Amino acid sequence: MFAEPGTYDQIITMFSPDGRLLQVEYAIEAVNRGATVLGVSCLEGIVLGAEEDIRTNLQGLNFSRKIYEVDEHLGAAVVGLAADARILIDQARIDAQINRLMYDESIDVEVVTKHIGDTKQLYTQHAGVRPFGVSIIFGGVDKTGNRLFATDPSGSYRAYRAVALGHGREVAEPILNEEYHEGLKLNEAIKLSVKCLVKAIETQGKKSAIRIAVILSETKRFRILTAEEVEPYIRQGTRIGQRKERRK
C-alpha cells in the first residue's frame, strides 16, 4: 500500500503516510540552523538585520552575504543556504526591473514576495529537484506603506510587524514580543534589532558580525549601514545585557 520505509524523504513529490513532505521539512531545518536574521517595521521605515559568521580576520568587513538590495525601495535578509538565496535574490531583482519597465513604477513588496514564494513552491512538486533551503525576509516601502514579509522553503509567506528567523529565533522572538510596539522610531527599531542579534550571538559563543540595513519611508531608499554606524548600537546592547546579568 505504501512505499518502502525511507522512500518518503528521497522523493520530493511523495507524501509520507502522516501527510508530510519530508524534504521540505529538511529544508526548513536547514533554515532553522542558519545564522539569525530579522526584520522590524517602524514608523519611519523598515530595519533588516543579520548575523554573519566571521571565518577569518582577512574577511571584508563591509561585504554582506545575508542582506541584499533588491530594488532601491526594497531589501531582503536571507537565512539558510547562501547559494540558493543568491539565485532567488537575482530572480527578485529581475521581477522588480520588469515591473519598472512595464508599469513605470516600483514593484509592491508583497508582489515580489509572492513571485519568490511561487518559485519555491514549484520546487516542492517536481521530481528530480529539491526545495530551496532558504527563507527570505523581504522589507520595503511601497505605495501601501512599510511592508515586511517572510517566506519559507515550502513557498508560503506571511506579513509581519517584526520577525526573526534562524538559530537565534528562540532568543530574539521573546525580546521582540516584549519590546516591540507600533510607535517605534527608526533609531529605536535599530537598537531593538541589534539587541536581538547581540543576544543571539552571545548564546552561540562564536565570533560574528552584525549587519543592519534600513529603508526610510521618507526617501524610499535602501541602505546598508557601515560597521562604524552599527558599532555604537552593539556597545549599547552589550552594556544592557551585562547590567541585566549583574542584577541576576
Mean of all residue pLDDT scores within the chain = 89
- 57 vs 216: CA distance, rounded Å: 32
Give per-residue pLDDT as tens, 150-175.
Answer: 999 999 999 999 999 999 999 999 99
Q: CA–CA separation, 93 vs 83, rounded Å?
A: 16
* Strand locations in the chain (E): 37-42, 45-53, 67-71, 74-80, 134-142, 145-151, 157-159, 162-165, 208-216, 222-224
Q: So where are the chain's domains?
A: 22-247
Q: Which pTM does this prediction carry?
A: 0.90
22-247: CATH superfamily: Aminohydrolase, N-terminal nucleophile (Ntn) domain (3.60.20.10)
Q: Is the pLDDT of residue 10 over 80?
A: no
Dihedral, CA of residue 103, residue 108, residue 112 and residue 118, to nearest 10:
-100
Mean pLDDT (whole number) for 26-49 = 95
Give the cell for residue 195. 539587541
For residue 149, pLDDT beyond 70: yes
Span 193-213, average pLDDT: 89
